[in-house]
Amino acid sequence: MKKFFIVVFIFIFLSSLSFYTLYTNYSYNNYNKFAKIGQTSDSKKIVFSAGSMKSEDIYNNLKIYLDKYNANLYCLIIDNQGKIPIYTNYVYIDNLKLFNNFKLLNGRFFNNSEKESNKYLSTIESSDTNQIGSIADFTGQKHLEIRTLKSKVDSTNLFNRSFYLQVDKSKIDFLIKDLETQKIMITIASTDESNKDF
């Protein structure tokens, strides 16, 4: 009888451990997708150069061509001011299919009418009406947010950093040439440097 209980206990323990491992792996992978949003095999790490053009002017020109070419743009900014760092992905998303493979703890994703709004997603739930969804926080050590690029345009240094551009490969050269006509130059980082931000 004692052997039977030992076998049952071992079976229950191993089953619980397997379930916990699978759940932890699933949660971590989902969190990592949000943390590295935009950093995919078909995205390019880029840097903008627009002389003394204001951030708002750069943004207004960019959105025309991002919409024209059905492109997405992402920028990760890390704020280390508080006890827990805040990792904020600022996004301009024209192709909402990006969110098809993501899971939220609750709420919803952006829709087309909100790509220039103050709506956001966060690992910290709040009563803020602009928060439209909650991201499951696997690590508990990072505060992750996804906000629209428009909500950060007032920052004078917004376009003095690297971004990830996601656009159909057949359209990237046309996008770059169109932006050059507006005096906005794009430099594409080498593939060795493409996925080293997070």
Sign of torsion, CA 37 39 44 48? positive
pTM as predicted: 0.79
Which whole-number Å values give the CA distances from 57 to 40, 50, 90, 153, 158, in the listed order? Answer: 28, 10, 17, 9, 12
What mean pLDDT comes out for the span 122-130? Answer: 90
The pLDDT of residue 195 is 45
Q: Is the pLDDT of residue 19 over 70?
A: no
Q: Which residue has the higher pLDDT, 180 or 23?
A: 180
pLDDT, greater one: 64 or 12:
64
The overall average pLDDT reported for the chain is: 82
pLDDT single digits (tens) 90-124: 999 887 776 666 778 889 888 888 989 999 999 88
Q: Which residue has the higher pLDDT, 195 or 123?
A: 123
| pLDDT value, residue 181 | 95
Burial 67-98 (b: 16+ CB within 10 A, else e): eebebbbbbbbeeeeeeeebbbbbbbbbeeeb
Tell me: the pLDDT tens digits for 48-84?
998 888 889 999 999 999 999 999 999 988 888 878 8
Half-sphere exposure of 157 (CA within 13 A, CB side): 3
Q: Are 174 and 71 in contact (CB under 8 A)?
A: no
Q: What is the pLDDT of residue 132?
A: 94
Per-residue confidence (pLDDT) for residue 150, from 0 to 100: 92
* Amino acid 198: pLDDT: 44
pLDDT score of 165: 93
In this prediction, residue 25 carries a pLDDT of 65
What's residue 129's pLDDT? Answer: 94
